[in-house]
Amino acid sequence: MSNLAGIRLVILQYAGDLRETYHLLCQTGKQEYFGHKYILESTIAISQQIDEVIYICCKTNSKYNEILEPGLRAVGGNLDPYKDTKLLFDLLSQQKPTHLVVHFPLISAFRWAKRNRVNAIGLFADSFQGDGISAKLRRARLSYALNDKAINLVANHGLNSCQSLESIGVRPEKIIPWDYPYEVTPDHFAPKSLGNASINDRNIVYVGFIDQLKGVGDILNALVVLRDAAITPNLTLIGKGELDFFRSEVVRLGLENQVVLTGGLYNDQVLEKMRWADVVVVPSRHAYPEGLPLTIYEALTVRTPLIISDHPMFLQKFELGKDVLMFPEKDSTSLAHCIETLLTDAEIYSTLSLNSADAWARLQMPIKWHEVIGQWITNTPESHQFLLQHSLGQYSYQQQRLTPS
């Protein structure tokens, strides 16, 4: 490992404060979001092989620079990386990186790395769509930056998000799908059945950022449609975001007796709520740059039947009516119909729960987050070949694709 000793690795994150994650795990043993514990443990393992890992979070409430453990530093930027470019560049320069991982599609960071001869990769969980001229120009600039030989590779979470990168012009031999390892799997849970409870006593759960583009308003409107048909299931909204706005919406729509907003919960509590629920809904609108939400993985894990929108990143992943139910984005009437179907048709309900294990297995990717970084910084002919073999240009990913019937 002596060839790694001089590496200074900066991991640049838009949000998601590693310092908060570190202290929360140390104090409580809990993580707010799935993957935080794994990312932290992987980062610590990498830091023990190199000079230092510096985890920069741009969106923090204050500036800070704190050593969490020997070889692991957390830096808070308290800046907007899309507007405060000079501040970001100064912050990057202060860390004296030899290697840079950019966790979100920030073109200026890749250009900075090229100018300063810093080895760089993209490691995203994003998709790239939109029909406007400005969106197309932004995608073209991003593709140009990522295709530059100064950028070694571009990983993205899940297969569809990687195909999204390819669709905007990124060369497939540079694109690698990545995933998390999962300690809890569908094998830990028994399939569910609908049972005999009244439909008005049923529970729907949404987990994620509380925002209009995530489709939260569409779920509320679906409840209004159902109420007009004298169907009044309960809805629990879990997550941070525009809580005050949606509390007002709940009141405006007269749904106070049906809807609870919990705010953020620890990940173990989220899984408990998902397992407790009768239905999980992921209603993301197309404009939201989803990769593949962990809520989908988690709902399949606990075997609670799942309703999803037709977001481009969710397509060709599931057999509709057997793995999940799907509705057109923004279509609250169709979402209401899906909810009513699941809560009244015991056969469909059992089918979705039973098939969740196979649907979950199809989503798994062979390369994990730590392997992308570890193989990249190792920088040997063998590591180069390993990464290339798992790129879109060489690996078939047949297991992750639905076989046409």
Fold of 186-363: Rossmann fold (3.40.50)
pLDDT tens digits, the chain, 405 residues: what are they?
A: 448 999 999 999 999 899 999 999 999 999 998 999 999 999 999 999 999 999 999 999 999 999 999 999 999 999 999 999 999 999 999 999 999 999 999 999 999 999 999 999 999 999 887 778 988 999 999 999 999 999 999 999 999 999 999 999 999 999 999 999 999 999 999 999 999 999 999 999 999 999 999 999 999 999 999 999 999 999 999 999 999 999 999 999 999 999 999 999 999 999 999 999 999 999 999 999 888 899 999 999 999 999 999 999 999 899 999 999 999 999 999 999 999 999 999 999 999 999 999 999 999 999 999 999 999 999 999 999 999 999 999 998 876 666 544
Answer yes or no: are the C-beta atoms of 150 and 116 closer than 8 Å. Answer: no
Which runs of E-coded beta strand occur in 187-299?
Answer: 203-207, 234-238, 259-263, 279-282
- Whether this prediction's pTM lies above 0.85 is answered by yes
Residues in contact with 45: Cβ distance below 8 Å, sequence separation at least 6, in sequence order: 370
Kindly give the pairing relationship between strand 203-207 and strand 279-282. parallel
Taking residue 326's Cβ as centre, other Cβ atoms within 10 Å add up to 21
Rounded to the nearest 10 degrees, the angle between the axes of helix 369-378 and helix 381-389 is 140
Residues in contact with 244: Cβ distance below 8 Å, sequence separation at least 6, in sequence order: none
CA dist 108 and 216 (Å) reads: 32
pLDDT value of position 318: 95
Q: Which CATH superfamily is domain 2-182+365-400 in?
A: Glycogen Phosphorylase B; (3.40.50.2000)
Answer yes or no: are the C-beta atoms of 243 and 260 closer than 8 Å. Answer: no
The residue extents of the domains of the chain are: 2-182+365-400, 186-363
Same fold, 2-182+365-400 and 186-363: yes
User: Residue 213 — φ and ψ, nearest 5°?
Assistant: -70, -20
CA dist 270 and 66 (Å) reads: 30
User: Residue 207 — φ and ψ, nearest 5°?
Assistant: -130, 130
Answer yes or no: are the C-beta atoms of 343 and 233 closer than 8 Å. Answer: yes
Q: Which of 313, 374, 365, 401 is nearest to 176 (CA)?
A: 365
> Which spans in 96-242 are helix H?
107-115, 133-147, 159-167, 216-228
First to last CA, the chain: 49
pLDDT value of position 131: 75
The SS3 assignment for 18 reads: helix
Q: What DSSP state is assigned to residue 184?
A: S
Sign for the CA dihedral angle at 351, 353, 354, 360 comes to positive
